Amino acid sequence: MRAFNFFRVLLSLPFVLRGAQAQFDTPPTNLTTGFVRLPHGTRQVSWIYSPNGIVIYDGDIVFGTIAEFNDALVNITHSPDDSTLSRRHDIPSQGLATRAYSEPPGGRLWPGGIIYYRYSDTNVESAASTEVNFAISTWTAAVPCIRFVRLPNDNKPTNGIVTIVAHSTNFGYCAAALGYTPTPMWLEVDPSGCGDSTMLHEFGHLLGLYHEHTRPDRNNFVKFNCNNVLSPKCCGSSCCGLACAFSIDPGHYPSPEYDINSIMHYPSWAFNNGMGSTLTDLSNNVLHNPYISLSPLDISRVRQLYFCPVVSPPKCNKACSTTPGKCHPTAQTCVPPAPGIPNPRLACSCRAGFKATNPGIADGDVTKQWRLPAPEGNFRVWVAEGVECNTPCTVSTGAFSCQEVTELAAECLHT
């Protein structure tokens, strides 16, 4: 009962409601499962047929039209109106190397880093443009060598263009195409809103990023608790229903680091049935940071994919100077991260519930703002000298406040 109450409280928090409630709290249940030929191999996935005539798999990835999907379909192992599951084991193994979840340079990436998009009509534009513009401005600020070009709503042809379409209100998800293809692509939104974090996630798919939590090395960093997934589901060597959204995908582009803070990583409460976390760390603790903002590794990966200079942020920011006037008037001057910490690394501190002033400073820009794993809590935002702190955090009070700002390592508490 404690776990149930905790997750219902967590789902009621403003940052969850704003960021991903429709995506995870009320997902579609009419899922079909089977083996499908995907760009990098055949694997078992679950999918739905969108009201717009497109197929969505792995929770929120647009495959394409129903006709295109049927051409790639190998077999169906489970359908919504069939309680039996035909388990199939004759699909060749893909191998389990350490992978990052993104296209390789030269893969399904946007030529020249230019992403063309349009809205299907003015109603969709009115409903979705605020969140779309937020995602575009956030990604382009972090990766300046990509560019989004808006085309007229009635632009023809649509090959090589993302069309932003809407389904019926509160249908339960938002979804995007994975990388570039020279055919029509879609970003499907809920007209009642996807939420800022979900839109950042969907634009990550458009740029070529996969789900981080399905990497082959996932189990070295987090635990998947299949019994806590909403029905329909099947747990075991074969998956069905919503459990397939967590199944391991072989991937293809090497990276040494698993990114538990990635915008592409599902949070602990994703598709949970009220009985506990679907994803935890190896000590069974809730994951607080995924699916909130762009992580430094998200930014570095997309920079690498599109041949931008990869800027490695400092591991720890330099301590601030005690000289008066170094911190902005909206920030406390040179305070320790918590009382009693030996050799504390002093920094300018935003007042409770505030972060660096937008626009211009991304939540994941740890050269300008960051959080620390202080013993009293990780909810305070610290900023570089001269940075203004006048933007309210997504959640402004409590233990989960300001979680959209990236947290640095514990070593950054000390000099």
Q: Which two tokens stand for residue 263?
A: 């915008």
- What sign does the dihedral 109-114-115-118 (CA atoms) show? negative
Tokens for 165, please give them: 């379409």
Cα–Cα distance for residue pair 149/381, rounded to 1 Å: 34
DSSP 52: T
CB atoms within 10 A of CB 380: 24
CB atoms within 10 A of CB 275: 15
Instruction: Convert 316-326 to b/e letters by CB count within 10 Å (16 or more is b).
Output: bbebbeeeeee
- Please tell me whether 201 is known to bind a ligand: yes
Local structure of 116: helix, strand or coil = strand
Cα 270 from chain centre: 11
Q: Which residue has the tokens 């680091």?
A: 257
Q: Which residue has the tokens 């947290």?
A: 407
Strand partners, 223: 280
Contact 46, 242 (CB under 8 A): yes
> 23 and 195 in contact (C-beta within 8 Å)?
yes
CA distance 245 to 249: 10
Residues in the chain: 415
Q: Which of 188, 202, 385, 404 is catalytic?
A: 202
CB 363 within 8 A of CB 298: no
Q: Provide the token pair at 192.
A: 């009642």
Q: Which two tokens stand for residue 352?
A: 């409770």
68 catalytic residue (yes or no) = no
Residues of the binding site for Zn(2+): 201, 205, 211
Catalytic residue numbers read 202
Residues of the binding site: 201, 205, 211
